[in-house]
């Protein structure tokens, strides 16, 4: 939406901004203030259980958010969603990795926390919930669609592709039409306190904490054999299937590489790897997805020709897609795809990779 369109769209609406303390959400407040709005701001606290052990820099985040809100005359409230995060997102993550799958906690955080638990606690009083995501929305034929950002590197539609239709109706992305360097320029022009602050990396609250340590905390270790898939030869041991994902190339602790993870046998606790720089077993052209969630209200079918992503990259893959019924589809990629892992979300777009239809979870053959 352009600024003019926003001005018309926002008129008379109550707006909540999820203000994280980062530059992107801070520029959201700036942009809305430039249109004459003074939205209520909210910092969602989802940090870990023991601050001394799991430093998530939340105090600095709150300080930044407080300064930005005050600059534009906005109220800031801290909303504690700690219990909801650890009971819903962490449980989802651990159940998936224990089953040998590859989950995406950040995708579910958007669905369950930022547009879920927050809405139950405070967001229900507002017409729109604004965030600093690099994504856009468009009204097409009377329906609201999630559409891609012009910044292909920063585009975050894949992280939003599990939202419920009612959540998308309330979602507002005021910087989605901008590129990252433009957002930084606005922050510098506005003399925002966090204008040069680095972007956060990794899972939304872990900060510098290693993901494997996060998993080890809950699931521990379970040693098993590493088998070379071509020969059936045992070449080492792993400390738990949940520390590895299909397509992984590093961190296996094996000499004479490179080695690639190509399969997991959860029942027998075996990790299968392939030797070489580009093993054929690491690629797939056809794979099923299930539990497909459509983003746009009233849309329940996919076009035959689509583009898709299975991980957060600027690249889209062309495919045809066929329905298997009951929210299941078969994806037929035009090209072999590396590292297709059950549990990942396959995010589906139209052929021009503009409109996002939603996503489904890649499942076992």
The residues annotated with a catalytic role in the active site are 109, 204
Residue 266: burial class (beta carbons within 10 Å; 0-12, 13-18, 19+): middle
Quick check: helix, strand or coil at residue 120? helix
List, in sequence order, every residue forming a beta bridge with 273; answer none if it has no partner: 228, 261
Lateral strand order in the sheet of 224-228: 234-238, 224-228, 270-275, 259-265
Residue 350: burial class (beta carbons within 10 Å; 0-12, 13-18, 19+): middle
Residues 6+ apart with CB under 8 A from 247: 260, 261, 282, 338, 339, 340, 341
Q: Within 13 Å, how many C-alpha atoms sit on residue 107's CB side?
A: 24
**Residue owning tokens 């039409």:** 177
Q: HEC string of 18-64?
A: ECCCCHHHHHHHHHHHHCCCCCEEEEEECCCCCCCCCCCCHHHHHHH
> Smallest Cα–Cα separation from 213: which of 63, 53, 326?
53
- Separation between Cα atoms, residue 305 and residue 295, nearest integer Å: 18
Tokens of 137: 């929305």
């Amino acid at each position: 939406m352009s600024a003019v369109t926003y001005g018309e769209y926002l008129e008379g609406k109550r707006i909540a901004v999820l203000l994280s303390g980062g530059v992107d959400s801070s520029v959201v407040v700036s942009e809305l203030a430039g249109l004459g709005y003074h939205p209520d701001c909210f910092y969602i606290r989802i940090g870990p259980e023991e601050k001394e052990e799991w430093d998530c820099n939340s105090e600095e985040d709150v300080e930044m958010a407080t300064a930005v809100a005050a600059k534009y005359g906005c109220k800031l409230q801290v909303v504690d969603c700690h219990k909801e995060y650890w009971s819903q997102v962490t449980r989802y993550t651990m159940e998936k990795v224990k089953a040998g799958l590859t989950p995406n906690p950040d995708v579910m955080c958007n669905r369950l926390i930022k547009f879920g638990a927050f809405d139950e606690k405070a967001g229900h009083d507002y017409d729109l919930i604004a965030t600093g995501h690099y994504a856009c929305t468009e009204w097409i034929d009377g329906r609201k669609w999630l559409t891609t950002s012009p910044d292909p590197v920063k585009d975050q539609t894949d992280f939003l592709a599990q939202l419920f239709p009612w959540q998308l109706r309330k979602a507002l992305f005021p910087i989605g039409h901008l590129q990252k360097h433009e957002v930084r320029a606005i922050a510098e022009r506005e003399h925002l306190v966090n204008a040069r602050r680095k972007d956060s990396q990794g899972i939304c609250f872990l900060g510098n904490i290693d993901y494997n340590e996060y998993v080890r905390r809950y699931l521990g270790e379970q040693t098993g054999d590493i088998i070379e898939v071509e020969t059936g030869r045992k070449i080492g041991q792993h400390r738990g299937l949940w520390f590895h994902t299909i397509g992984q190339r590093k961190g296996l602790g094996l000499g004479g590489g490179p080695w690639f993870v190509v399969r997991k046998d959860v029942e027998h606790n075996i990790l299968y790897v392939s030797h070489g720089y580009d093993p054929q077993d690491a690629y797939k052209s056809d794979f099923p997805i299930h539990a497909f969630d459509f983003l746009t209200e009233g849309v329940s079918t996919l076009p035959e020709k689509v583009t898709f992503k299975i991980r957060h990259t600027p690249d889209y893959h062309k495919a045809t897609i066929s329905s298997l019924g009951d929210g299941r589809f078969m994806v037929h990629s035009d090209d072999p795809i590396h590292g297709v892992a059950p549990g990942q979300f396959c995010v589906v777009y139209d052929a021009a990779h503009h409109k996002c239809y939603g996503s489904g979870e890649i499942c076992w053959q």
